[in-house]
Amino acid sequence: MPYDPATAEARWQKAWADAGSFTAIRDQRPKYYVLEMFPYPSGRIHMGHVRNYTMGDVVARFKRAEGFSVLHPMGWDAFGMPAENAAMEQGGHPRDWTYANIATMREQLKPLGLSIDWSREFATCDDAYVAQQQALFLDFLDAGLITRKSAQVNWDPVDMTVLANEQVIDGKGWRSGAAVQRRELTQWFFKISDYSDELLSALDGLSGWPDKVRLMQANWIGKSRGLQFRFDTVDAPEDFAQIEVYTTRPDTLMGASFVALSPDHPLVRALAAADPAVAAFVEECRRIGTTEEAIETAPKLGFDTGLTVRHPLDADWQLPIWIANFVLMDYGTGAIFGSPAHDERDHEFATKYGLPIRATFGEAGMTLEQADAMVAKAPYVPMKSEPVTYVRGFAGATDQTGEAAVDAAIAHAEAAGYGEGVTKFRLRDWGISRQRYWGCPIPVVHCDKCGTVPEAKENLPVLLPQDVSFDQPGNPLDRHPTWRQTTCPHCGGAALRETDTMDTFVDSSWYYARFTSPGAATPTDRADADYWMNVDQYIGGIEHAILHLLYSRFFARAMVKTGHLPDSAREPFDALFTQGMVTHEIYMSRDDRGRPVYHLPEDVTDGRLADGTEVEVIPSAKMSKSKKNVVDPVNIVESYGADTARWFMLSDSPPERDVEWTAAGAEAAHKFLSRVFRLTEDAPAGGGDDPDLTRSAHRAIAEVTKSIEGFAFNKAVAKLYELANAVGKSKAGGESRKAVLRIMAQLMAPMVPHLAEEVWAMAGGQGMLVDAGWPKADSAMLEDDIVILPIQINGKRRAEISVAKDMPKDQIEAMVMADETVRRFLDGAAPKKLIVVPGRIVNVVA
Ligand code: ANZ
Ligand code: ZN
């Protein structure tokens, strides 16, 4: 009977569900919490999901077999813009769109046979989740973790709406095409910057995280040491006798050529009020979006105010004050001094506006003239740890590293009293206000009498109104006829609801904690959280290495502070694994005008379309709908079964690297699994022992265990290919063969759980394999059966031979006598003595 995955997989999935095999239970076993980053309900699962969830499932099933009480949940990151976009484009309601997508994707996921506790499933747009997220917000507000301040947003002047950063494309609104402007709005912020230092230093303790991710987090937090100091101004308006700047390179002070202010600097505001030219320049700067990337890549723009400052080290030396679009108001002091010789941006700016470029230091040994000549064309920006020669130094030695010179410059400023050494972080507070509908409402009200007032907990949840339309731009909550009107929880008077909703990153910053008790009437249940936290193994894409993980780390700390998590959960993810992508070749032809036309893999056979047209094959790249190089997991599962998809995903490359999906690879995986089934089915009833096969099985236990523990799933798969081949070749029969088949089933179970159950049952396994536990290797069988014996001739070690461990003495003696070196020493004579110490050494006396 050939293997029929369709019926077998459905049968086992039902058996596991009926037995409640994957229900996570708090009991006396040690716990293990494995979590894969939960999906956004876009409408269909893709191969990336299959890879991610298969890896998590291998870990979950393995740990379960090892005797852990495993929590392996699934949910939906369900708020966000695509649902609103769909409503705008196709009509309908974001809620209906989202829940319909969830239903579809759940039905696509279930046939993969993942060992998920589906009873814990939730979506972040569920009323219950919204309620608890709002409760958390109120607790955070109470604990001083939230603030309200003014910040810049992207404003679309045609659609009259705030745009998210991803809706700004090349500085233009994604729908209107209008040039985006910056506007100031009062917004809500989580005070993540209070934790900058701790979020940075705690990275050292995250030994279960990839170094790469820790480094990315550290760079994002961006700790820097520098000097904050004041320039005295000349002829500036009242209140601006001094301008304070922040620099990380105070050692370059003698190469300063200008001071630059942010367009939002208070002095610029004062100047703009009096001078329309300044106001117009500021307006021009506002046309760049608010993203750091937009500001970084925009052309450098400057405006000379005509004002000057005195150099702190030379009162006769005056520097011009410019306004520059690349100086941000919310970093440092919103003002800098420029040293074009040693900074890319300053160089570009100075070159454009004809400002002096004067070297402070050059390569080791350079003269002032040589250094000036070098920086005339391009800035010289060596690592701070590199030794250089100061040609315009002012503190310390001429030859020193940048680091030492910075320290000396700070000491100099502090001694002379014009500045102080300070530490700054790049990390900004986390602005969570979104002027959109499909998100978690921020639970506060605005009262004319009391100001901004938190909603009372007993009035939660504040739910979104259902009767909204998306036929006009802007936030439907703003124009809803009644939703805003409420009463002030403080004075009982009329008040208006906040219409901002929360950034969807908030939703995904604590879902891992909610999974420990998804039905609790509080954000978490402490007994459950204490038992299940932390996540022992978190798995997801590298694209979440910065923001999602940083926000989650902050949230865990905030939840500890507000009593929702134990102190031991400050770092919520003990180990993190970032998996590679799934790639596929791209197939392309051209239309009559030469434009590229892409084709789905299923429409291409041997490099040709059905009508015979040859396609160009472009090397493998990340699966993407626009290039049509996608394979639908649903089709793969339908034609081969889930086990084939799972096996192939795990087999071809290490999990951290990209895997290329090929039809031939899927075919080969399917063939192998069918062969394993046949091997079991055709097992001869009679026949004897095969100690070699038994030994191979025990070695496989040791190696597969080690490979799974080390996330080397491809090695585990390779080992199982080897074991299956050994079974195929062996003459072993009866119980001896079945015992090996059962071990093979146990070892395969985390990867191909359905087939493994079949093999287990056919090989006489008791009960379901899912309850059978993990096999133990017999250590006696792991010992090497080959030993290397040194040969000593006349007391000196001269050679060695490798022999079977249990080789009889006379055979060893024969091998020694045949050895090349021994024969040379004996030169035809018989040895005076030949002593074999089995397993140890051979002594020859010539
Ligand atoms: C003088 C200087 C000379 C600088 C030089 C750099 C190189 P990090 O390392 O990221 O902390 N800067 C300070 N505040 C700024 C702001 N609000 N907007 C834009 N740039 C600002 O960067 C610190 C450096 O970035 C500071 O050191 C300052 O330029 C600039 F050869 O001061 B530096
Ligand atoms: Zn009030």
Torsion of CA 560, 565, 569, 574, to 10 degrees: -140
Given the structure tokens 């703003």, which residue do they identify? Answer: 478
pLDDT of residue 372: 98
pLDDT of residue 473: 80
The response to whether residue 319 sits with its C-beta less than 6 Å from ligand 1 reads no
Protein residues near ligand 2, an ion, with CB under 5 A:
447, 449-450, 488, 490-491
pLDDT at position 291 over 70: no
Kindly state the percentage of the chain with pLDDT values over 90.
80
Integer Cα distance of 361 and 340 in angstroms: 12
Instruction: Classify 92 as helix, strand or coil.
Output: coil
Q: Which two tokens stand for residue 589?
A: 């032809």
Residue nearest to atom 27 of ligand 1 (CA): 247
* CA 246 – ligand 1 centroid, Å: 7
- Ligand 1 atom with minimal separation from the 330 CA: 17
* CA 364 – ligand 1 centroid, Å: 24
Which amino acid would we find at residue 147?
T
Among the bound ligands, the one closest to the CA of 491: 2
Integer Cα distance of 578 and 575 in angstroms: 10
Residue nearest to atom 26 of ligand 1 (CA): 247
Residues in contact with 802: Cβ distance below 8 Å, sequence separation at least 6, in sequence order: 786, 787, 788, 789
The response to whether residue 423 sits with its C-beta less than 6 Å from ligand 1 reads no
Integer Cα distance of 666 and 644 in angstroms: 7
Distance of CA 837 to the CA centre of its chain: 58
Which amino acid would we find at residue 831?
P
Q: How confident is the model over 321-358, as pLDDT tens digits? A: 999 999 998 889 999 999 999 999 999 999 999 999 99
Q: How confident is the model over 422-435, as pLDDT tens digits? A: 999 999 999 999 99
Whole-Å CA distances, 569 to 366, 513, 525, 552, 630: 54, 10, 14, 11, 39
Confidence at 626, pLDDT banded by 50, 70, 90: confident
Distance of CA 32 to the CA centre of its chain: 21
Given the structure tokens 């009991």, which residue do they identify? Answer: 27
Confidence at 290, pLDDT banded by 50, 70, 90: low
Residue 269 near residue 334 (C-beta atoms within 8 A): no
pLDDT of residue 292: 67
Residue nearest to atom 22 of ligand 1 (CA): 248
Give me the mean pLDDT over the 754-759 stretch. 98
Residue 491 near residue 449 (C-beta atoms within 8 A): yes
pLDDT at position 785 over 80: no
Residue nearest to atom 32 of ligand 1 (CA): 247
pLDDT of residue 839: 83
- Ligand 1 atom with minimal separation from the 381 CA: 31
Integer Cα distance of 515 and 122 in angstroms: 8
Whole-Å CA distances, 144 to 189, 421, 442, 825, 840: 11, 28, 16, 87, 72
* CA 186 – ligand 2 centroid, Å: 19
pLDDT of residue 516: 98
Query: Where do runs of H (alpha helix) occur along 127-249?
Result: 127-142, 196-201, 211-221
pLDDT of residue 171: 79
Among the bound ligands, the one closest to the CA of 381: 1
Q: Please, which residues bridge with residue 578 across strands? A: 540
Around Cβ 384, how many Cβ atoms within 10 Å? 15
- Ligand 1 atom with minimal separation from the 342 CA: 31
The response to whether residue 328 sits with its C-beta less than 6 Å from ligand 1 reads yes
pLDDT of residue 278: 97
Query: 235, exposed or middle or buried, with CB in 10 Å at 0-12, 13-18, 19+?
Result: exposed
- Ligand 1 atom with minimal separation from the 331 CA: 17
The response to whether residue 332 sits with its C-beta less than 6 Å from ligand 1 reads yes
Residues in contact with 201: Cβ distance below 8 Å, sequence separation at least 6, in sequence order: none
- Ligand 1 atom with minimal separation from the 341 CA: 31
Around Cβ 166, how many Cβ atoms within 10 Å? 9
Confidence at 299, pLDDT banded by 50, 70, 90: confident
The response to whether residue 336 sits with its C-beta less than 6 Å from ligand 1 reads yes
Q: How confident is the model over 210-243, as pLDDT tens digits? A: 999 999 999 999 999 999 999 999 989 989 999 9
Integer Cα distance of 85 and 361 in angstroms: 54
Pocket probe for ligand 1: among 331, 344, 392, the residue whose CB has the most ligand atoms within 8 Å is 331
Integer Cα distance of 623 and 629 in angstroms: 5
Integer Cα distance of 285 and 279 in angstroms: 10
The response to whether residue 343 sits with its C-beta less than 6 Å from ligand 1 reads yes
- Ligand 1 atom with minimal separation from the 326 CA: 19
| 719 annotated to bind ligand | no
| Alpha carbons within 13 A on the beta-carbon side of 32 | 18
pLDDT of residue 462: 98
Query: Where do runs of H (alpha helix) occur along 462-598?
Result: 476-479, 504-507, 511-514, 526-532, 547-561
Q: Which two tokens stand for residue 221?
A: 């937090």
DSSP annotation of 230 reads: E
- Ligand 1 atom with minimal separation from the 333 CA: 17
pLDDT at position 201 over 90: yes
Whole-Å CA distances, 766 to 21, 451, 742, 769: 16, 69, 10, 8
Residue 801 near residue 821 (C-beta atoms within 8 A): no
The response to whether residue 335 sits with its C-beta less than 6 Å from ligand 1 reads no
The response to whether residue 250 sits with its C-beta less than 6 Å from ligand 1 reads no
Instruction: Classify 476 as helix, strand or coil.
Output: helix
Torsion of CA 559, 562, 565, 566, to 10 degrees: 130
Whole-Å CA distances, 570 to 46, 192, 498, 503, 528: 33, 14, 30, 22, 16
pLDDT at position 260 over 90: yes
Integer Cα distance of 47 and 658 in angstroms: 12
Q: Which two tokens stand for residue 576?
A: 């993190």
Residue nearest to atom 19 of ligand 1 (CA): 327
Integer Cα distance of 98 and 486 in angstroms: 28
Which of 557-561, 658-662, 719-723 shows the lowest mean pLDDT across its residues? 658-662
Q: Please, which residues bridge with residue 78 across strands? A: none
Q: How confident is the model over 454-472, as pLDDT tens digits? A: 999 999 999 999 999 988 8
φ, ψ at 793 (rounded to 5°): -115, 120
Integer Cα distance of 756 and 57 in angstroms: 14
* CA 129 – ligand 2 centroid, Å: 27
Integer Cα distance of 162 and 157 in angstroms: 9
Instruction: Classify 411 as helix, strand or coil.
Output: helix
Residue 770 near residue 761 (C-beta atoms within 8 A): no
Mean of per-residue pLDDT scores for the chain: 94
Confidence at 496, pLDDT banded by 50, 70, 90: very high
For the beta sheet containing 833-837, the strands, ordered from the edge strand earlier in sequence to the opposite edge, are 796-804, 786-793, 841-845, 833-837
pLDDT at position 33 over 70: yes
Integer Cα distance of 77 and 511 in angstroms: 9
Gyration radius of the chain over CA positions:
35
* CA 455 – ligand 2 centroid, Å: 11
| Alpha carbons within 13 A on the beta-carbon side of 514 | 32
Q: How confident is the model over 64-104, as pLDDT tens digits? A: 999 999 999 999 999 999 999 899 889 999 999 999 999 99
Integer Cα distance of 689 and 695 in angstroms: 11
The response to whether residue 249 sits with its C-beta less than 6 Å from ligand 1 reads yes
Residue nearest to atom 12 of ligand 1 (CA): 336
The response to whether residue 342 sits with its C-beta less than 6 Å from ligand 1 reads yes
The response to whether residue 388 sits with its C-beta less than 6 Å from ligand 1 reads no
The response to whether residue 255 sits with its C-beta less than 6 Å from ligand 1 reads no
HEC string for 251-318: HHHHHCCEEEECCCCHHHHHHHHHCHHHHHHHHHHHCCCCCHHHHHHCCCCEEEEEEEEEECCEEEEE
Q: How confident is the model over 797-835, as pLDDT tens digits? A: 998 888 888 888 888 999 999 999 999 999 888 999 999
Residue 69 near residue 30 (C-beta atoms within 8 A): yes
Instruction: Classify 469 as helix, strand or coil.
Output: coil
The response to whether residue 745 sits with its C-beta less than 6 Å from ligand 1 reads no
* CA 219 – ligand 1 centroid, Å: 15
* CA 533 – ligand 2 centroid, Å: 40
Nearest to 483 by CA among 458, 461, 457, 463: 463
Residue 164 near residue 434 (C-beta atoms within 8 A): yes
Integer Cα distance of 255 and 356 in angstroms: 9
The response to whether residue 337 sits with its C-beta less than 6 Å from ligand 1 reads yes
pLDDT at position 591 over 70: yes
The response to whether residue 358 sits with its C-beta less than 6 Å from ligand 1 reads no
First-last CA distance in the chain? 67
Q: How confident is the model over 363-421, as pLDDT tens digits? A: 999 999 999 999 999 999 999 999 999 999 998 899 999 999 999 999 999 999 999 99
Distance of CA 222 to the CA centre of its chain: 18
The per-residue DSSP string of 142-175 comes to: HTT-EEEEEEEEEEETTTTEEE-GGGEETTEETT
Whole-Å CA distances, 328 to 291, 456, 796: 11, 38, 77
Q: Which two tokens stand for residue 675?
A: 């062969």
* CA 327 – ligand 1 centroid, Å: 9
* CA 275 – ligand 1 centroid, Å: 28
Residue 454 near residue 443 (C-beta atoms within 8 A): yes
